[in-house]
Structure 1
Amino acid sequence: MTRNMSYLTDFEEIDKGYVAFGGNPKGGKITGRGTIKTSNLDFENVYFVRELKFNLFSVSQMCDKKNSVLFNDTECIVLSLNFKLTDKSHVLLKVPRKNNMYSVDLKNIVPKGGLTCLFAKATSDESKLWHRRLGHINFKTMNKLVKGNLVRGLPSKLFENNQTCVACQKGKQHRASCKSKTVSSISQPLHMLHMDLFGPTFVKSLMKKMYCLVVTDDYSRFSWVFFLATKDETSGILKSFITRVENLIDQRVKIIRCDNGTEFKNKEMNQFCKRKGIKREFSAARTPQQNGVAERKNRTLIEAARTMLADSKLPTTF
């Protein structure tokens, strides 16, 4: 469109209605049409609008003629029909044309490279809110979700970490590890016994045993394995075992280390240990012992039970 009739050749008067500009739905009336000819390029069907203050250039009409239009910070360049893009890596964004308009939909585009200028920066409170909503995800990954449009409802904004997340700091804290002991504090057999009971097993033994009690001497690593039909037999077996083993090797049991199971922590065992002067050490609930004894004990328990179950020379009372 132009306001200068002298630019137009092949001019003809027409009545095409009004064109809106400047917020006025009847900004100007189209009263004529013509062609603007230049040395390299002709502009056809140029409307004459007397109320215009500037000449208007239609990019879509120029592209209809298979020309390419390039905009930069200083000028607009119309390229020839033979122009071809030499390197596709230079393309950062592609926007489809619909109804003679190039509409940018930030929720459906996939930007390439470092194109972040199209995304408005989120406020500090908004970044913190979405950081918590997405399970304290890091901001780099959150921006990838935005660019890939992978989360429905996530605003198309650039999230930045301007504040320290206290929950993330606490979640990344590590508990200081305990130093391993170089010298064992146990100097003789039966000074400390580790014991544990597991069961019921899915398969019963020939004598209908479903539980397995393993006792390990901390000094010698020698293990005793007992098979039980019920957990109630634990106290009686331990009392008989401790009395017998103390008499055999002429040593006394001083410490028993076990978990908080009722098979070890009951009135009968309390009275027996008090009478014998045996100290009991209970592990914290659902927490492995820090000196690694629990892990070794579990391995010993499994291996000992597996060996005895596979042994064909087991006594008939098993």
Structure 2
Amino acid sequence: MKGQQESTEEQALKVSNGRGSGRGRGRSSNRGRGRGRQSKELVECYKCHKLAHYQSECPTWEGNAHYAEFNDDEDMLLMAKTEEQNFNKIETWFLDSGCSNHMVGHKEWLFEFDDSYKDSVKLGDDSKMDVKGKGNIKLSINNIVHVISNVYYVPGLKTNLLSIGQLQQRQISIIFKNDMCKVFHDDRGLLFTTHMSKNRMYVITAPMIIPMCLKTTKQESTQLWHDKYGHLSFKGLNTLSRKQMVNGLPELEEIEENCADCLSGKQHRDTVPKQANWRASMKLELIHSDICGPITPQSNGGNRYFMTLTDDYSRKTWSYILKEKSNAFEVLKNFKALVEKETGCSILCLRTDRGGEYTSNEFNEFCSNEGIKRQLTTAYTPQQNGVSERKNRIILNIVRSMINARRVPKTFWPEAVKWATYVMNRSPTFSVKDMTPEEAWSGSKPSVHHFRIFGCLAHVHIPDKQRKKLDNKSKRCVLLGVSDESKAYKLYDPVDKKIIISRDVVFEESK
């Protein structure tokens, strides 16, 4: 029996459509039907009479217009482009030995879709197709549901392709013999059998199992991103998605729903619209600043205030956590050094209220020496510093909504303020057209692929040096945003009661 199995395996993956070139997987010395690794520099093609390839590999040969390859350094075969036949395209899949990845042409069939993945593929006839994401798909084969992972979405692809190589990496064995293909799972045995079709391709019938209707999927995705984005309005989310203002945000469904956490954290009276005031024409031409507090309860570190500084031109905002209002002077000095070094520009004007923290002698002297013009509001008219007032209100609305949604202790309000500011800078605003404040400031479209729900459960990897052989390899923490100093997440360990900075995290956003 074992000898018979080995004899059968020798014929595995010998596909007879001229795509050998050493890619077969039999155990003979010639590795299938390919010509091995001999140099082809002096080989003449009998079809086009050019050098360096055989007729069977010639792009102009009709038989080779059916394969494609990655447009990258690895030069991998990607797919076989099959001829049109009377198949039910939703249920028909082609097994392809030259295909390095599963592929479909319908995005709506995929779940857990990652639209940040981009690539392009080159067909045998030199035409190209774009890979615009990847995800998982469910197929019903012999009344058993199978999850196929890492399926590429290629718009315009007319056939569904299953990669033999990718299947073999998933404990799948594929045997070809006498125009028949048998597919085995290492643990579950024979999965299915199929015969060669007229165009020498192996076809299986596998109805699509869509976990939920497309509209419901998009609605759930919209709700998830609403939570990730600090309860940004659905209208704002749709604007980000529709105008592609950030990278990593999927296509979202336009829904009109009232979020209970938003109502408890953001509800306010309607305001009277006002005409726009003068706007800066360059970065740092005008900075708005305000201090919010005292906030109760005070944070775990004894902080009671936060200070915001907003660039009028880009509307990007920076937030700083303070123990006392008097710390505003040091914050301004640090902020000035940061943004001026980043932009090469100088702060020209600072607009604030007349609070003592902004009118102290050292504050006034510093602004005078640095050439910063002052604009102070008149007494009891905070409307004159409307930009900062609105920014602080938006931040507090986001903070309340996030804390209410995940029942995060209010003593973590500084972390919520920092995350709210981070999110706000990557959200649409009427003051900047068709881009986020972050893009208006930096010139680069921001990515939100790393966004997670504030306060969700996070499993943080414990480095080998910090644990013993039988210790758990991860610990349960709570997400508190992203780190200011490094590209990593900021988390709270409720057992050891300490803050952890880590990039090796697995999230459970439903908890």
| TM-score normalised over the length of structure 1 | 0.39
Rg larger in 1 or in 2?
Answer: 1
| TM-score normalised over the length of structure 2 | 0.25
